[in-house]
Amino acid sequence: MSVKCKGCGHNDNYPVRPEPQALSVEDDPDSGLPYFLSFAVGRHVLWARNIAHLDLIEAYVNATLRERALEPVKMTQLARLPAWIKYAANREILRKAIKSLRARAARADLT
């Protein structure tokens, strides 16, 4: 798959991995490429598909009250977040990672 930079016009080729089982969680299932908005946090990777997804993660990390529905319903996107993102002890490092991802997005004019 050929990918072109919007800023400088540089072209590069990346192999596409069509087998879904070969993809890791941090890879875009459509292209097989790692997410652009990804940041190593210890032995984990915080990633977001786009700015709206990053906004959602940031709102969850910054929330002081996290309520659950009384009736069992389908799991929400936030309920499926990995446990390490949900731990209160990781909130400060996650805020720093989100800030870094926002800076990367701004440099790439994704905002």
pLDDT at 46 (0 to 100): 94
Q: What is the DSSP letter of 78?
A: T
Q: What number of other Cβ atoms are within 10 A of residue 2's Cβ?
A: 7
One digit per residue, pLDDT tens: the chain, 111 residues? Answer: 677 877 788 888 776 655 554 446 677 777 777 888 999 999 999 999 999 999 999 999 999 887 776 776 677 788 889 999 999 999 999 999 999 999 999 998 887
Bridge partners (DSSP) listed for residue 27:
34
pTM, two decimal places:
0.72
Tell me, what's the pLDDT at 51?
Answer: 95
Beta strands in 14-94 (DSSP E): 37-41, 44-48
Largest CA distance in the chain: 52
Report helix, strand and coil shares of the chain as percent, to nearest 5.
35, 15, 50
Compute φ and ψ for 40, nearest 5 degrees: -70, 125
Fill in the amino acid letter for 71: E
Q: What is the pLDDT of residue 31?
A: 75
Q: Where are the alpha helices (DSSP H) in the chain?
A: 51-62, 83-86, 91-107
